[in-house]
């Protein structure tokens, strides 16, 4: 599109897939950046996403050196965990803290920054701004020599081998009320204070039903905490069962919510009313997991029992597909 159009753009954002995949490294080349530069307005901004996992310092330096060969001014910002944003321009960016502060007090920027970075103030906003890195390489990623494709391939699966000490402003994480309740519940479960943890978990799940911007990692851990609470006490299990009985905002974690409801229903009474309600909620496409398929087989009667038995046999059947081609 960049080569076929003569249009000029104020902002161009590039977030391709992982560069170790065939062809993706061509979206990090000098020629690609030159094409982008030709389609930016005079004070246009180009933003390049770069991962910080499965990458080493040398590969990042190659990306940075390639980008700065076209755009002389590149700022580095941290996004979510594992993400960097390289903000590239041909002219220096002029930033007015007063203007930024005023924007952060207005909608939609106020909610947008809170929900993505959990920040409120100008200082917190700029805590995501990282000092520039001096690329210690002369290597460049080009159309006929896509070095970073092989650089990423070498470090694939090694986790985070990218290690640069970035001088930053200390960042304060502002948690929502629901996230705070979830963290308290998880902490109390770790201390085996289950009766104290249950109301915190219930309040956290209640906010998940109305707030679509809750931290997903915290939400995932809370499901496990709810199961531990349920296994400790049948009365608390009823509370946890009811707490996840309704969909969350934007249908987030809906499959997980239904799955954990089956697990909690089982702690109340095997094949009891709560567990049967949870099982029926996952039909006709049950979670293809051994414990769920076995529970359906043991609890269902009539036509559903036949379906459950068929699914259970399919689960237990060994793989019969041969990889050998017929002669």
Is residue 297 situated within a structural domain?
no
pLDDT exceeds cutoff 80 at 132? no
Which domain does 246 fall in, by range?
Answer: 177-282
Whether 181 and 122 map to the same domain: the answer is no
Q: What is the pLDDT of residue 319?
A: 56
pLDDT exceeds cutoff 60 at 285? yes
Burial status of residue 93 (CB atoms within 10 A of its CB: 0-12, 13-18, 19 or more): exposed
Whether 53 and 117 map to the same domain: the answer is yes
Whether 15 and 119 map to the same domain: the answer is yes
Is residue 315 situated within a structural domain?
no
Is residue 164 situated within a structural domain?
no
Put residue 98 in one of left, alpha, beta given phi > 0 → left and psi -120 to 50 → alpha.
Answer: alpha
Last residue of a domain, one of 282, 306, 321: 282
pLDDT exceeds cutoff 90 at 113? no
Q: What is the pLDDT of residue 155?
A: 73
Q: What is the pLDDT of residue 45?
A: 95
Is residue 276 situated within a structural domain?
yes
Q: What is the DSSP code (8-state) at residue 14?
A: E
Last residue of a domain, one of 120, 155, 190: 155
Q: What is the pLDDT of residue 13?
A: 93
Q: What is the pLDDT of residue 159?
A: 56
Least confident of 153-162, 191-200, 258-267: 153-162
pLDDT exceeds cutoff 70 at 323? no
- Token couple for 73: 């001014």
The gap from C-alpha 55 to its chain's centroid, in whole angstroms, comes to: 18
Q: What is the pLDDT of residue 169?
A: 45
Phi and psi at 145, nearest 5°, equal: -155, 75
Q: What is the pLDDT of residue 168?
A: 47
Beta bridge pairs of residue 77:
85, 129
Is residue 143 situated within a structural domain?
yes
Is residue 252 situated within a structural domain?
yes
Whether 214 and 269 map to the same domain: the answer is yes
Considering the chain, what percentage of its residues have pLDDT values greater than 70?
A: 90
Is residue 45 situated within a structural domain?
yes
Is residue 166 situated within a structural domain?
no
Last residue of a domain, one of 244, 266, 282: 282
Whether 147 and 181 map to the same domain: the answer is no
Whether 202 and 142 map to the same domain: the answer is no
- The domain tally of the chain equals 2
Q: CATH code at 57?
A: 3.40.50.150
The most confident of 107-111, 135-139, 197-201, by mean pLDDT:
197-201
Cα 194-195-197 angle, rounded to 5 deg: 60
Interatomic CA distance for residues 213 and 297, integer angstroms? 38
What 140-145 contacts at long range (C-beta under 8 Å, 24+ apart), as own/partner pairs, is 140/30, 140/62, 140/65, 140/66, 140/69, 141/25, 141/28, 141/29, 141/30, 141/62, 141/63, 141/66, 142/29, 142/30, 142/31, 142/66, 143/26, 143/29, 143/30, 143/31, 143/32
Q: What is the pTM of this model?
A: 0.53
The DSSP result for 220-281, as a single string, is HHHHHHHHHHHHH-HHHHHHHHHHTSSPPGGGTTHHHHHHHHHHHHHHH-TTSHHHHHHHHH
What mean pLDDT value characterizes the chain? 86
Whether 31 and 89 map to the same domain: the answer is yes
Greater confidence (271 vs 150) lies with: 271
Task: State pLDDT tens for residues 154-190.
Answer: 777 665 556 655 544 444 456 788 889 999 999 999 9
Whether 128 and 32 map to the same domain: the answer is yes
Whether 144 and 202 map to the same domain: the answer is no
Whether 192 and 78 map to the same domain: the answer is no
Whether 149 and 30 map to the same domain: the answer is yes
Whether 19 and 141 map to the same domain: the answer is yes
């Amino acid at each position: 599109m960049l080569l076929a159009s003569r249009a000029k753009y104020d902002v161009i954002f590039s977030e391709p897939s992982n560069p170790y995949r065939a062809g993706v490294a061509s979206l990090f080349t000098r020629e690609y950046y030159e094409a982008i530069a030709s389609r930016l307005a005079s004070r246009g901004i180009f933003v390049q996403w770069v991962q910080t996992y499965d990458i080493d310092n040398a590969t990042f330096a190659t990306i940075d050196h390639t980008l700065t060969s076209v755009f002389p001014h590149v700022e580095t910002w941290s996004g979510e965990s594992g993400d960097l944003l390289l903000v590239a321009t041909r002219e220096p960016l002029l930033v007015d803290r007063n203007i930024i502060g005023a924007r952060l007090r207005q909608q939609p920027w106020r909610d947008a920054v809170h929900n993505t970075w959990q920040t409120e103030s100008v200082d917190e906003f700029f805590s995501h701004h990282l000092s520039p890195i001096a690329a210690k390489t002369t290597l460049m990623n080009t159309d006929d020599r896509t070095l970073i494709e092989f650089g990423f391939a070498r470090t694939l699966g090694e986790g985070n081998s990218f290690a640069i000490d970035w001088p930053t402003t200390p960042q304060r994480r502002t948690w929502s009320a629901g996230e705070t309740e979830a963290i308290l519940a998880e902490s109390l479960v770790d201390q085996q204070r289950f009766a104290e943890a249950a109301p915190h978990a219930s309040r956290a799940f209640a906010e998940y039903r109305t707030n679509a911007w809750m931290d997903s990692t915290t939400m995932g851990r809370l499901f496990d905490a709810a199961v531990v609470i349920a296994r400790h006490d049948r009365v608390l299990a009823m509370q946890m069962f009811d707490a996840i009985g309704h969909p969350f905002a934007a249908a987030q974690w809906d499959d997980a919510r239904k799955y954990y409801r089956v697990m909690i229903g089982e702690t109340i009474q095997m094949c009891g009313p709560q567990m049967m309600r949870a099982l029926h909620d996952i039909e006709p496409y049950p979670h293809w997991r051994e414990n769920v398929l076995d529970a359906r087989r043991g609890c269902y009667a009539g036509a559903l029992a036949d379906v459950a038995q068929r699914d259970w046999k399919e689960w237990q059947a060994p793989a019969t597909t041969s990889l050998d081609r017929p002669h």
